[in-house]
């Protein structure tokens, strides 16, 4: 297979950046495997327990950028206990001991300690980029270490982490010599920060393109920052509260007018009414707008704002926009590709403001739509069928009806036909979340039509094992399956055990699988790790095989059972 010298092949491989493609390349032959592994710089590990740090380091000595994911997706919704696992520490320690010149680390749902952050900051001279998404276990002291020690830091991006905020001083830890910042996002921090230090940092960072502030940053600081950083492309405001007739507000208006590069806007963590007109000048060029943390913004003020945003491609909003407001979006935002509508009153008694009507309006007006997350009060089959016809390009379709087993609001039928239409029409669908009253029939459709489906989330659906079997047998590209509160049991789980080796993971909670079933699976498939998670107050795991299992999480792994499992996790 070697018609070219290694250097030529290496050069060719340089053009191959997608992880999937590089993985395929490495399987062609031994020689290609060798060349590929020495030239690989970016590695993506979707489940940190599928491989060990040592094997990673051994295979990819040229590693520069590592992405690691820890807890399963349902951990986002409090279904996984905090100390389940996903610890960063062993990875950092192993990497620090090696000769790896790590430059970029991206983590999702991992447990990160201050010690790990400090070790990270001191071990890699060229470290440039830290992105933490939905992580926990660290405080602002760990962030301070990163700021103080990473001399060439370009990116510090903290997205929706649970951080213990020790208030303020971490920002002052960026040395005066640090002028390389391109991206700084600390919106999720809850504490006060040193505003003067922030302003000085912005002033000495001429390459700053992305800046997302937290709630503690008031409007007048925002105005000062914008005056010094008009080149910003992605802005997250902090607290957006001020008297609209004040001098500061006027200054803010002129500051926004100078910011001709802003394409992405978020924040508004506190909003005062009648202050939004200041941002109208930026709206014309916006491609991403995130108002999901601004419940104070609704009604006319919100729709007037939207009407200025003709180039919007991604919109994240709360359902207080209402069906009518979605109609305004539909007629204004013709370039829209991604829409997320979150519930503004998630625990309230049915005050949700969007229904199937809003979704239908969107589908009719925004034909480029390919990604949807929609929390709504109700849905109908007719609406879903219309949406499927209008928008055949969906890659991600996630629907959440707040009452999870609600039938078609008009006909009282299950929503099988509606979702069936979606999977049949959207031939490129990769991710799907179902809700509403659903029988086994919807799974028959999914198994039949959802050929590209990679991730499926199911809750309170189906009648029998057949449902789960339709999916396992039909969806050849399925990688992640997560199920809660469905009547799927051992028969479905055990029918095709080899299937799980082709997938990253399977989550089942509050279903009908028993301990015996899980044990059988674990016995037959040693390449899988089958975890039983018991986070009730019960101290002991019952030994009765007929017991139903509350939470089961299984995943394929090359390194056997993990050794860091807490007491309440039993690996079969």
Partner 1 sequence: MGRATSSSSSSIESSNHFAFSNTGASSSSQRDLSTDLRLGLSISTSPSYGREQQSDWPPIKPLLGQALAEDENECNSATFFVKVYMEGIPIGRKLDLLAHESYYDLIKTLEQMFNANIIWAEAEVDADHYEKYHVLTYEDKEGDWMMVGDVPWEMFLSAVRRLKITKC
Question: In terms of CB distance, is 267 or 418 closer to partner 1?
Answer: 267
State the minimum distance, in angstroms, from the CB of residue 461 to partner 1: 9
State the minimum distance, in angstroms, from the CB of residue 117 to partner 1: 20
Using CA atoms, how far apart are residues 279 and 281, in angstroms rounded to an integer?
A: 5
Distances (CA, A) of 553 to 85, 174, 497, 530: 12, 41, 14, 6
State the minimum distance, in angstroms, from the CB of residue 4 to partner 1: 49
Question: In terms of CB distance, is 157 or 463 closer to partner 1?
Answer: 463
Question: In terms of CB distance, is 86 or 489 closer to partner 1?
Answer: 489
State the minimum distance, in angstroms, from the CB of residue 22 to partner 1: 31
Question: In terms of CB distance, is 345 or 451 closer to partner 1?
Answer: 345
State the minimum distance, in angstroms, from the CB of residue 456 to partner 1: 14
Question: In terms of CB distance, is 365 or 407 closer to partner 1?
Answer: 407
Based on its alpha-carbon atoms, the radius of gyration of the chain, rounded to whole angstroms, reads: 25
Q: Please, what sign has the CA dihedral across residues 466, 468, 471, 474?
A: negative
Question: In terms of CB distance, is 139 or 285 closer to partner 1?
Answer: 139
State the minimum distance, in angstroms, from the CB of residue 342 to partner 1: 6
Question: In terms of CB distance, is 180 or 292 closer to partner 1?
Answer: 292
State the minimum distance, in angstroms, from the CB of residue 284 to partner 1: 28
What are phi and psi for residue 61, nearest 5 degrees?
-65, -20
Query: Which residues would be at the binding site for partner 1 (CB under 8 A)?
Result: 76-79, 134, 160, 162, 188, 269, 292-293, 295-296, 318, 342-350, 375, 400, 402-405, 459-460, 462-464, 484-487, 489, 509-512, 534, 536-538, 541-542, 544, 546-550
Q: Quick one: angle between helices 440-449 and 465-474, nearest 10?
A: 10
Using CA atoms, how far apart are residues 546 and 515, in angstroms rounded to an integer?
A: 6
Distances (CA, A) of 163 to 96, 265, 306: 24, 23, 33
Using CA atoms, how far apart are residues 246 and 69, in angstroms rounded to an integer?
A: 46
> Per the structure block, which two tokens stand in for 26?
């490495």
Of 473, 384, 390, whose CA–CA distance to 432 is shortest? 384
The residues facing 554 across adjacent strands are: 506, 530
State the minimum distance, in angstroms, from the CB of residue 301 to partner 1: 16
Q: What is the DSSP string of 35-61?
A: HHHHH--EEEESSTTSS-HHHHHHH-T
State the minimum distance, in angstroms, from the CB of residue 503 to partner 1: 21
State the minimum distance, in angstroms, from the CB of residue 349 to partner 1: 6
Using CA atoms, how far apart are residues 172 and 188, in angstroms rounded to an integer?
A: 18
State the minimum distance, in angstroms, from the CB of residue 293 to partner 1: 5
Helix segments in 315-458, DSSP class H = 322-332, 356-365, 381-390, 416-425, 440-449
Question: In terms of CB distance, is 162 or 247 closer to partner 1?
Answer: 162
Of 281, 237, 289, whose CA–CA distance to 264 is shortest? 289
Looking at residue 87, the DSSP 8-state letter turns out to be B
Question: In terms of CB distance, is 35 or 188 closer to partner 1?
Answer: 188
Question: In terms of CB distance, is 25 or 315 closer to partner 1?
Answer: 315
State the minimum distance, in angstroms, from the CB of residue 355 to partner 1: 13
What are phi and psi for residue 244, nearest 5 degrees?
-65, -10
Of 498, 509, 563, whose CA–CA distance to 534 is shortest? 509
Euclidean distance between the first and the last CA atom of the chain, given in angstroms as a whole number: 43
Question: In terms of CB distance, is 198 or 459 closer to partner 1?
Answer: 459
Question: In terms of CB distance, is 431 or 484 closer to partner 1?
Answer: 484
Using CA atoms, how far apart are residues 358 and 354, in angstroms rounded to an integer?
A: 6
Using CA atoms, how far apart are residues 178 and 175, in angstroms rounded to an integer?
A: 5
Question: In terms of CB distance, is 132 or 202 closer to partner 1?
Answer: 132
Distances (CA, A) of 349 to 251, 266, 346: 42, 28, 9
274 conformational bin, left if phi > 0, alpha if psi -120 to 50, beta if neither: left
State the minimum distance, in angstroms, from the CB of residue 560 to partner 1: 26
Looking at residue 483, the DSSP 8-state letter turns out to be E
Neighbours of 282 (CB within 10 A): 21
State the minimum distance, in angstroms, from the CB of residue 374 to partner 1: 12
Those residues with Cβ within 8 angstroms of residue 489's Cβ, 6 or more apart along the chain or in another chain: 465, 511, 512, 513, 514, 517
Of 351, 340, 403, whose CA–CA distance to 373 is shortest? 340
Using CA atoms, how far apart are residues 292 and 267, in angstroms rounded to an integer?
A: 8
Question: In terms of CB distance, is 348 or 560 closer to partner 1?
Answer: 348
**In this structure, are residues 130 and 157 in contact, taking their beta carbons and an 8 Å threshold?**
yes
């Amino acid at each position: 297979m070697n018609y070219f010298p290694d250097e030529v092949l290496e050069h060719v491989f340089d053009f191959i950046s997608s992880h999937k493609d590089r993985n395929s390349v490495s399987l062609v032959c031994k020689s290609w495997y060798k060349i590929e592994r020495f030239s690989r710089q970016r590695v993506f590990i979707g489940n940190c327990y599928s491989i060990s740090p040592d094997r990673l380091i051994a295979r990819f000595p040229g590693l520069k950028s590592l992405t690691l994911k820890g807890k399963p997706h349902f951990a986002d919704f409090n279904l996984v206990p905090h100390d389940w696992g996903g610890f960063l520490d062993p990875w950092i320690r192993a990497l620090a001991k090696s000769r790896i010149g790590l430059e970029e680390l991206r983590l999702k749902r991992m447990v990160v300690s201050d010690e790990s952050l400090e070790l990270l900051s001191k071990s890699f001279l060229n470290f440039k980029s830290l992105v933490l998404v939905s992580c926990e276990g660290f405080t602002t002291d760990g962030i301070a270490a990163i700021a103080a020690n990473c001399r060439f830091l370009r990116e510090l991006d903290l997205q929706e982490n649970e951080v213990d905020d020790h208030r303020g001083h971490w920002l002052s830890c960026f040395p005066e010599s640090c002028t390389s910042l391109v991206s700084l996002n600390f919106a999720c921090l809850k504490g006060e920060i040193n505003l003067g230090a922030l302003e000085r940092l912005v002033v000495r960072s001429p390459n700053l393109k992305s800046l997302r502030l937290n709630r503690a940053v008031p409007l007048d600081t925002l105005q000062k920052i914008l005056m010094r950083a008009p080149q910003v492309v992605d802005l997250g405001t902090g607290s957006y509260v001020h008297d609209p007739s004040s001098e500061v507000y006027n200054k803010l208006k002129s500051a926004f007018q100078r910011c001709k590069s802003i394409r992405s806007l978020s924040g508004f963590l506190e909003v005062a009414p009648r202050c939004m007109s200041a941002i109208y000048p930026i709206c014309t060029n916006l491609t991403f707008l995130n108002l999901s943390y601004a419940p104070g913004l609704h009604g006319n003020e919100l729709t007037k704002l939207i009407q200025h945003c003709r180039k919007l491609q991604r919109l994240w909003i709360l359902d207080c926009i209402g069906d009518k407001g979605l109609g305004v979006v539909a007629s204004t935002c013709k370039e829209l590709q991604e829409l997320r509508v979150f519930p503004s009153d998630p625990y309230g008694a049915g005050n949700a403001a969007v229904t199937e009507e809003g979704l239908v309006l969107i589908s009719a007006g925004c034909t480029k739509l390919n990604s949807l997350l929609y929390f709504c009060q109700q849905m109908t089959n007719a609406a879903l069928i219309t949406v499927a016809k209008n928008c055949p390009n969906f890659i991600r379709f996630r629907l959440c009806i707040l009452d999870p087993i609600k039938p078609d609001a008009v006909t009282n039928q299950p929503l099988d036909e509606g979702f069936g239409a979606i999977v049949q029409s959207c031939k490129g669908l990769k991710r799907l979340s179902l809700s509403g009253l659903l029988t086994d029939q919807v799974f028959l459709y999914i198994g039949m039509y959802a050929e590209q489906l990679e991730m499926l989330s199911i809750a309170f659906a189906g009648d029998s094992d057949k449902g789960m079997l339709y999916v396992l047998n039909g969806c050849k590209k399925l990688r992640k399956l997560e199920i809660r509160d469905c009547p799927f049991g051992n028969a479905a789980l055990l029918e095709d055990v080899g299937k799980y080796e082709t997938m990253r993971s399977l989550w089942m909670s509050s279903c009908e699988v028993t301990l015996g079933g899980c044990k059988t699976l674990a016995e037959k498939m040693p390449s899988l790790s089958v975890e039983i998670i018991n986070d009730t107050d019960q101290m002991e795991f019952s030994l009765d095989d007929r017991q139903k299992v509350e939470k089961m999480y299984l995943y394929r792994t090359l390194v056997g059972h993990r050794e860091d499992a807490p007491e309440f996790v039993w690996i079969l």
